[in-house]
Structure 1
Amino acid sequence: MATLGIVLKNSFHKLDIETTLSPGATLKSQEDSRYSSCQERWVGYQCNCYFISSELKTWKESRDFCASRNSTLLQMHNKDELHFMKLSKYFYWIGVTYSAEHSAWVWEDGSVVSQDLLPNSQTANPMTCVVYGRANGIWDEPCTSKNMYICQQQLI
């Protein structure tokens, strides 16, 4: 019986496990010591930990939630950064707002968003924030709307 337990444990230890993050978002978890420092219910990927919510909040509520977990709303460098998210019909707040002071879309840290990431078709309005949907791209929406959100925490 003990031998069978050891064999079964070793067999399942090597398998990839598919973790459901939120409706429509999945990721293959891999056993990797780099990701062991991610908080519970967070997913490690490329030196970052991500929390993909399943609850609806305004942009500010989402930003505050992420800050309370020592993280920020997602700051993407390219549209393929989150390729681990399967095609999702949901939109998620990311860390972009329009800055009237800079007359540009900016990340939470104040840096300007690349035009490659955010096309000119987005409304230049300080009352709008940005949502990301893997299947639907990047859109602006009133910051007071409620959406799910993605928090990001760098491991390094």
Structure 2
Amino acid sequence: MRRSRGDAVIGGGSPPASPGCLPGLCSNIWFWRCTTGILAVVSVLILCIHLAVNCSSRKSSSGSPPPESCPADWLYHQRKCYCFSEKVKDWNSSQSFCASHNSSLIVIESQQELKFIMKITKQDPWIGLRKTGEEFHWVNGTPLDTNLLTVKGSGECAYIESDVVSSSGCSLPRGWVCKIGS
């Protein structure tokens, strides 16, 4: 006589097939659960090893400040330190503030950095881009790469406005973004 209690079968025979299971496939359910569990643990271990290797290689690369070397109240991101001002100043005063903290108005080097700054900024801050003659140059002297970004407006100093880079007169008061690291 066969009596069942839950999934266990008393009195021999095969366990009943679960609804929706192919015969023979579900009879090894514990095997599949164990296999899935082992694969999950191995995946987590691989991820941890990958993160540990990447973090240690970032700390040892030259020219990039570790997070503890960023000034107080500055944000550490992607091996660089950023200061997002809460005050407003004209473009020259903003650059002077950055210089007094051994930095400069931000020079945006990649689309990734541009997206990061656009996502985190408020109050349309100055960036380190200013017109020299008819062309924009970064504060480090590098000409603007128009494949990286374009500047809207006819002003001489650039700032981030929502999801675009715009320009205006340099004497307008705005917040600013300083950056340490290249």
Conserved? CA contact 2:90–2:174, under 8 Å: yes
**How many residue pairs were aligned?**
118
User: Is 2:128 the counterpart of 1:95?
Assistant: yes
User: Is 2:73 the counterpart of 1:44?
Assistant: no
Give a deviation string over 1:69-115, Cα, whole Å, max 9, x none. Answer: 00000000234315445465520100010001xx3100011110111
TM-score (normalizing by structure 2)? 0.58
Once the two structures are TM-superposed, the CA of residue 56 in structure 1 deviates from its matched residue by 0.5
Identical-residue share of aligned pairs (%): 27
1:129 to 157, 163, 168: 157
TM-score (normalizing by structure 1)? 0.67
Q: Tell me how far apart the structure 2 counterparts of residues 120 and 142 of structure 1 sit (CA, whole Å).
A: 13
Please report the RMSD computed on the Cα atoms of aligned residues, expressed in angstroms: 2.3
Question: Hey, which bits of structure 1, 4+ residues long, moved more than 3 A?
Answer: 82-89
Q: Tell me how far apart the structure 1 counterparts of residues 125 and 151 of structure 2 sit (CA, whole Å).
A: 20
> Which is richer in helix?
2
Q: Which amino acid aligns with 1:66?
A: C
Gaps of 5+ in 2: 1-57, 60-65
The 3-state SS of whatever aligns with 2:88 is coil
Gaps of 5+ in 1: 1-31
Structure 1 138/121 Cα, relative in aligned 2: closer, same or farther at 3 Å? closer
Structure 1 152/120 Cα, relative in aligned 2: closer, same or farther at 3 Å? closer
